Amino acid sequence: MSDAVRQIKEKLPLLDILQEYLDFTQAGDSWKARCPFHNEKTASFHVTPAENVFYCFGCHRGGDLFSFIQEHENMTFKEALVMLAEKAGVILDGQIKKPSTNSEKLLALMRHAADFYHRQLLLDSEVKQYLVERGLTEATVRLFRLGYASTTWDSLTTFLKASSYTEQDMLDVGLIIARKDAKGGYDRFRNRIMFPLNDPQGRVVGFSGRIFDARVENKEKAGGKYINSPESEFYDKSSILYGYDCAKKSISYEKSCIIVEGQMDLVMAHQANTKHCVALSGTALSERQLTLLARSATKLIFALDADSAGSQAVTRSVLATLEKDLDVAIVQLPVGADPADVIRTSPETWHKLLEKPLSYITWKCRDMRNSDARTLRSILIRDVFPALLSMKSPIILERALQEASTHSGYTFETLSKEFRTWQSNNKDALESFEPISDSLSSKALTLDDTSSDTSRIGTSSKESRLITLSNLIHLAKQRTESNENPDDVVVYAEEILSRERADWRERLQEEPRALIETHMMYGNAPLKHIFQSIREVTFIIKRDILTQQRNNLHIELRRSADMPERRNELLTSIQNIDSQLISLNDLYHRE
C-alpha cells in the first residue's frame, strides 16, 4: 500500500465517510445499511470499523474506502486518490497533483472558465441587480458559482490564452466555436448568465447560459433563451443532473429527491433550504440519472410548472421512476408559476406544497370529477394505464387501482378488468414503453447470486481455509493486543499460516467478505471460542498439508522400486510424517 493511501485511510475512517451517504444501524461490532449499489429493502451492506472494509451480502460488492468511492462516484483509482487526498489533507507527490493527462488539463480549463465567468458577474452590478430581483442572494450566487459571459466575441478566449490554453483545448470542450473561413474561434457564450454544470464530484464539465435580456440589441441574432455546452469527453447530457453534487448528501438523508425543471428553480430551491433537489434541464430522466438517484432516494417528488408537467419528457420520467420501484409524488404548482416564482414570492408556500404532494395517479385523475364517460376513458388510457403498467409490485398496483377507482367512480373490479383488457389488447402501447423497462438492467443490478459459503470452516478449499485462518488470527490479535503471552495455539497457527501465505497481513483486506463474516461470527464471541476455531482450522490445514506430502512420497516410492537407497529415504520421510500426524492429533485433542 502506498504511503499516501495508508495516510488517507488513517485520516478518513471508512464508516465516517460512508455515513455521509448511508444510514447505518449497529450490528455487533459491525454496522449495516441499505446497499447503495443494488435495490433492497433490508440492509445487507456491512461495514466493520475495526477493519475499514465493507461488504454487501446482496450484490457481493466489497472493499475499502477507495473501492467504495470508485464505484459510487464512478471514478478511476487515480481520481479517487486525488479527491480523497484533498479531503484528508494529504499531499500527493507532484506527479499526480499536476495535471498530467489531457483530460485533467481540460477539466482545469473548465474550472478556470467558470472562475472567469464568476468574477465577471461579481464585477457587473447590473447583472447582479438582475439576479437579486429574481430573488437570489449573493451567497447562492457564490455557492453555485453563477457567472456572466460578456457581450464581446473573445473575452473568454483572450483570458484562457493568457493562461496558456490553446484554441484547440477550448474547441475540445465547446467553449469556443470554430470560425468558418479563418483560423481559431470565437466565444460560444455571449451576453449570458452562466450556470456551471458539475459532475457528481463537483467538477465543472459544461455550462448552460441563459440570455441576459436587458442587453439584447438584436433579438433575432441573440440565439435561444438557453444554450448549453455541446457534449464532450466530460459532458454527457444524459448523465449530468444539475445540482446533484450539492444535493447528494441531502438526498441520502431525506431518502427522497425533488425534481425541478430549470437551473433557476434549482438554485432557488437550495436557497429555500430544500437541498435534496436536482434539475432536469428539459429532457426526460435518463437511465443513468435514475440509477444515480435510486442509490439514495426511495421517492422522487416532481415539482414542475403546469405547462411542462404534462409533457412527454415528464411522463417518460415518471414511468421510468415507477419502473425502478421508486415512489412518485407530484407537487401541484399554481398555474403559470414555476418553483422559482413560488419560492421568490413565498418560501413558506413552497414548503407547504412539498408537505402534501399528490400521488401520480391522483394527480392524473384530478380532472376526472366532472368528465363525461368519453373523456374519463381517454384519461384512463392515456395517463393512468401506462403508469399502472410500470408498477411492478402487486401491492402498489392494487393501491393505485383503488385510487383510480375512487376518482373515476368505476368499481375496483370494473377498473381492474378494463386495465387487464387494455393490457392484453394494446400491444402497441406495451411496446412503446418497452425501452423504459430495459433501463432496469443497469450495472448496479447485475447480481451475482452464486454465493458460496467458501469462508466457512470445514466446507472449503485450502485457499479459503487459509483466508479464514488469517482472519481469525487477525481478530484474536486485535482482541489480545494487551495480552503479553499469546496463546500457543495462535503462535503455532501463525507459523503455519506464514509459511503458506507469507503476505497474509497485507492480503486481509482483499477478502472483505471473509473479514466481515469473521466479525459477524466472532465479533462478540468469547476469546476462548476464537482460539478453539483457530485450533480447528489450523489442524485441518496442517493435516491436509501433511497428507498431501505423504501422498506425494508414496507416489515416488512406487516409482523407485529399483532404487533401494532412495526407497529407504522415502520410507523414513513417510514415517516422519506419520509421527507428525499423530502429534498433531494430540495437539488438537488437548484442551
Give the interface with Zn ion as residue ranges (CB under 5 A).
35, 37-38, 56, 58-59
Contact 323, 392 (CB under 8 A): yes
DSSP per residue, 374-404 = HHHHHHIIIIIHHHHHH---HHHHHHHHHHH
Report in angstroms how near the CB of residue 153 gets to Zn ion at its nearest: 52
Q: How far apart are CA 373 and CA 355, in angstroms?
A: 33
Output the CA torsion 400→403→408→411 (10° steps).
90
Q: Between 59 and 493, name the residue whose CB sits nearer to Zn ion.
A: 59
Q: Between 58 and 357, name the residue whose CB sits nearer to Zn ion.
A: 58
The three three-digit cell numbers of residue 373, written as one number: 364517460
Q: Between 37 and 522, name the residue whose CB sits nearer to Zn ion.
A: 37
> Dmax of the chain from CA atoms?
108
CA distances from 161 to 73, 101, 109, 180, 512 (A): 32, 19, 10, 20, 49
By CB atoms closer than 10 A (0-12, 13-18, 19+), residue 435 is: exposed
Report in angstroms how near the CB of residue 444 gets to Zn ion at its nearest: 8
Report in angstroms how near the CB of residue 449 gets to Zn ion at its nearest: 12
The three three-digit cell numbers of residue 499, written as one number: 509459511
Q: Between 273 and 446, name the residue whose CB sits nearer to Zn ion.
A: 446
- Residue 330's nearest CA partner among 291, 358, 305 is 358
Q: How far apart are CA 24 and CA 239, in angstroms?
A: 28
Q: Between 21 and 410, name the residue whose CB sits nearer to Zn ion.
A: 21
Q: Between 62 and 357, name the residue whose CB sits nearer to Zn ion.
A: 62
Report in angstroms how near the CB of residue 446 gets to Zn ion at its nearest: 11
Q: How far apart are CA 122 and CA 161, in angstroms?
A: 22
Q: How far apart are CA 448 and CA 450, in angstroms?
A: 6
Q: Between 58 and 185, name the residue whose CB sits nearer to Zn ion.
A: 58
Contact 339, 301 (CB under 8 A): no
Q: How far apart are CA 406 and CA 555, in angstroms?
A: 82
Report in angstroms how near the CB of residue 45 gets to Zn ion at its nearest: 6
Report in angstroms how near the CB of residue 35 gets to Zn ion at its nearest: 3
- Residue 472's nearest CA partner among 421, 541, 569 is 541
Angle between helices 512-522 and 527-559 (to 10 degrees): 130
Report in angstroms how near the CB of residue 251 gets to Zn ion at its nearest: 18
Report in angstroms how near the CB of residue 36 gets to Zn ion at its nearest: 8
- Residue 322's nearest CA partner among 251, 386, 240 is 386
Q: Between 63 and 243, name the residue whose CB sits nearer to Zn ion.
A: 63
Q: Between 47 and 90, name the residue whose CB sits nearer to Zn ion.
A: 47
Report in angstroms how near the CB of residue 440 gets to Zn ion at its nearest: 16
Report in angstroms how near the CB of residue 39 gets to Zn ion at its nearest: 9
Q: Between 58 and 386, name the residue whose CB sits nearer to Zn ion.
A: 58
Report in angstroms how near the CB of residue 256 gets to Zn ion at its nearest: 20
Q: Between 21 and 234, name the residue whose CB sits nearer to Zn ion.
A: 21
DSSP per residue, 198-254 = E-TTS-EEEEEEEE-GGG-S-GGGS--SEEEPPP-SS--TTT--BTHHHHHHHHHHH
